[in-house]
Amino acid sequence: MGDQATNENAPSRNPAAVSRFVERFAAVMTEAGMQRTASRVFAALIASDDASLTSAELSEQLGISPAAVSGAIRYLTQVGMAGRERDPGSRRDRYRIHNEVWYTTFAHRDTVLTRWESALREGTESLGRDTPAGARIAETAEFFEFLQEELMAMMERWQALQEKRRAEATEGPRTP
C-alpha cells in the first residue's frame, strides 16, 4: 500500500498476511474494549513500515469510508495513540502512531489511575472506613496505589532496557 510504494528497497510482504494480522490484532484490541474501527486503523498504522498512512490509504486498505477513518483517528488522538500531520507541500493529512506508543499509552493510564485512586479515597471517607462498602472501596484504592507504584517501576525498567539497547546498537558488534 502507501508505505510500500514510497520505499523501493522495502522487502515485499504478502498483503493477505498483513491483512490477516491487522484484523486479528484489531479483534484483540476490540475485545479489550477499544472501538472496532479505531482498532483496525491503529493495527493498520502499526503494521505499516513508517507507522503512517493517509486517509485514502487507510480507506482502501481497510475497506472503510474516509468519514470512518476520521472518526477512528479522532478517537486515537484523544487517547494519545495516534496523531495527524500534514504531508510536506501537500494539503493531505497523514495519520501516524506516536513513537513509543505503548509507553505513552501506559504512562497516560497512570494519570487515570491517580484520579481513580483519589476518587476512591474520597469515597472511603464519605462511606466510612468501618462500613463494608467503605472497607471495599479503601481496598480498591490501595490496589490502585499498588498498581501505580508497580507501573512506574516497570516503566523505569523499560526505559533503562531501551537505553541499553540503543547504546548497544550504536556501539556495533564487539570484537574479541
| 25-50 tens-digit pLDDT | 999 999 999 999 999 999 999 999 98
Contacts with 137 (C-beta within 8 Å, 6 or more apart), sequence order: 120, 123, 124, 127
* Whether the predicted pLDDT of 173 surpasses 90: no
- Of 132 and 3, more confident: 132
What is residue 71's predicted lDDT score, i.e. its pLDDT? 95
Domain residue ranges in the chain:
2-97, 101-171
Question: What does the alpha-carbon distance between residue 148 and residue 151 come to, in Å, rounded to a whole number?
Answer: 5
What distance in Å separates the CA atoms of residue 129 and residue 119, rounded to the nearest whole number? 14
Whether the pLDDT of residue 69 is over 80: the answer is: yes
Tell me the CATH class for 2-97: mainly alpha
Average pLDDT, stretch 79-101?
83
Helix or strand holding residue 157 (H, E): helix 132-171
- Model pLDDT, residue 110: 67
Q: What is the pLDDT at residue 84?
A: 87
What is the DSSP annotation of 67-93? HHHHHHHHHHHHTTSEEEEEPTTSS-E
Three-class DSSP category at 143: helix
Q: Which helix (H) or strand (E) holds 151?
A: helix 132-171
